[in-house]
Amino acid sequence: MAQLDPHPLCGHNAAVATRVGFLGGTGIEGRGLALRFALAGASVVVGSRSEERARAAAAEYNALLGVDRIRGAANPDMLRESDIVFITLPYEHAPEAVSHAASDLRAGVILVDVTVPMVFRDGRAEFAEPAEGSNAERIAARIPKDARLVGAFKTIPAHVLAEIDTPLDCDDLVCGDSSEAKQAVIAACAAIPALRSLDAGPLSAARILERMTVLAVQLNRRYKRKGARYRVQGV
Amino acid sequence: MAQLDPHPLCGHNAAVATRVGFLGGTGIEGRGLALRFALAGASVVVGSRSEERARAAAAEYNALLGVDRIRGAANPDMLRESDIVFITLPYEHAPEAVSHAASDLRAGVILVDVTVPMVFRDGRAEFAEPAEGSNAERIAARIPKDARLVGAFKTIPAHVLAEIDTPLDCDDLVCGDSSEAKQAVIAACAAIPALRSLDAGPLSAARILERMTVLAVQLNRRYKRKGARYRVQGV
């Protein structure tokens, strides 16, 4: 974990900042999370199979922020430098990509799966139930023994994350079988404003969280909105 | 639908009040919903297999309200007088009880399933997945053709409903395959303060809603709270 100054934009004073990487950080989900973590004072590396594409994405994100806070790197370099690696790939590619990256993962690395297996049939979102029960469990079956997987941000729309002027104003439901890894992710998210992280239990809770996202997408369509997300009241 | 005066306690002016019945209204779920609907100006009949028990429950609820707003009746009488019938029985008894009551159901009656199939294993709440996918669909397979089933209040804790001084302060996610029935339930709930009803799609959405309740119960346990429930932000 690297030492970092208070962030000049948001004023957050993250005394100890986590080095956050993104496996496939050039898509909408990676973009939103990279921006939010950079604003929260984390050290951010956007990874891509193509170093050039990663650098271009980082330059674009930095231009949005107005400061150089985000680096772009080829995935193996990103993996070497990150304490927490967000898997921000399309859900169907994520398990294989993680499996492919196994040899580049640092021992003890924390992986964060944000994917939701969803298909559209007749314009309606449906849960594409993986044989393992959830995409999180599907990915977990493909990571090295010393890596730990946490599910997070599954229920928060990528484009809301990417609209950095929109307060998140919701809860993040975080699941995983390693309490330590889960707490590290929750701690890394603590500096993101207007976001509360809740421990949603073991990794298998992703079966619920992934379905909740499908419901949110259906609600968006029905109510002609784009940002349906959840807050847990009474907790 | 019966004409009703503004309610003396809550001041709600429900111009046209729905006659709401409860199949198995003497438990905690029936109690909470009967109280909330009575406060909202609905005409409420609490049903039970035992007329005596139904009357005793109604008397107790009226004592809480301070006015006689709720009647108790044997289930067949309750069914004859209700436009909307809430199924407030333990989840495992609900399908058979509804099947048993079939001959007493009025044509076109709207049934509302509030049950959640949940078991506790080693102190941990788990979704008891019915073969039909959800308890709502299990019940739907057992009702007469001219009855319509709506799922509602699945994600709102019974004891929060029963604490009438606690603002609900959450959303009710309402699902069903009959738009008309769903809209009738949403309309009947409109007079309940601090509750927003959202159309959550077809009855099969109960597969998501029932699991969300399991998650809420798990969150309650983890955070030592009792009232976890949901609000959808951004809609």
Beta bridge partners of B73: B47
pLDDT tens by residue, B38-75: 999 999 999 999 999 999 999 999 999 999 999 999 99
Average pLDDT of span B163-187: 97
According to DSSP, the residues that pair with A19 across neighbouring strands are: A43
CB spacing of B233 vs A157 below 8 angstroms? no
Q: Which residues of B touch A175 (CB under 8 A)?
A: none
A70-85 pLDDT per residue, tens:
999 999 999 999 999 9
Q: Is A234's CB within 8 Å of B170's CB? A: yes
Q: What is the arithmetic mean of pLDDT over B147-165? A: 97
Mean local confidence (pLDDT), B128-145? 97
Helix (H) or strand (E) holding A229: strand A229-233
Instruction: Give all strands (DSSP E) within chain B, no chain letters.
Output: 2-3, 16-17, 19-23, 43-48, 70-74, 84-87, 110-113, 118-121, 124-127, 148-151, 170-176, 195-199, 229-233
- CA-CA distance, B43 to B35, in Å (whole number)? 11
DSSP notation for B40-105 = TT-EEEEEESSHHHHHHHHHHHHHHHTS--EEEEEHHHHHHH-SEEEE-S-TTTHHHHHHHHGGGP
What pLDDT, on the 0 to 100 scale, is given for residue B59? 98
Q: What is the mean pLDDT of residues A164-192?
A: 97
- Measure A61 CA to nearest chain B CA, in Å: 24
Distance from CA of A6 to the nearest CA of B (A): 30
A235 vs B218: CB contact, 8 Å cut-off?
no
CA of B220: which chain A residue's CA is closest?
Answer: A235
Q: Are strands A84-87 and A110-113 parallel, antiparallel or unpaired?
A: parallel
Give me the CATH code for the A2-223 domain, please.
Answer: 3.40.50.720
Buried b (16+ CB within 10 A) or exposed e, B27-63: bebbbbbbbbbbbbbbbbbbbbeebebbbebbeebbe
- Per the listing, tokens 């004891």 go with B159
In the predicted structure, residue A187 carries a pLDDT above the cut 70: yes
pTM of the model: 0.93
Mean pLDDT of A116-142: 97
Question: What is d(CA B31, CA A190) in angstroms, rounded to the nearest whole number?
Answer: 40
Residue B16 is predicted with a pLDDT of: 44
Q: Is the dihedral of CA A147, A153, A159, A164 positive or negative?
A: negative
Interface probe, candidates A156, A214, A235, chain B, greatest B C-beta count within 10 A: A235
ipTM rounded to 2 decimals: 0.92
Percent of chain A with pLDDT over 90: 91
Rounded-to-integer distance, Cα A204 and Cα B162, Å: 31
- Letter string b/e over residues A90-117, b meaning 16 or more CB atoms within 10 A of that residue's CB: ebeebbebbeebeebbeeebbbbbbbbb
Q: Which of A173, A220, A235 has the CB atom closest to B223's CB atom? A: A235
pLDDT 10s digits, B84-93: 999 999 999 9
* Minimal-distance CA residue of chain B relative to A213: B208
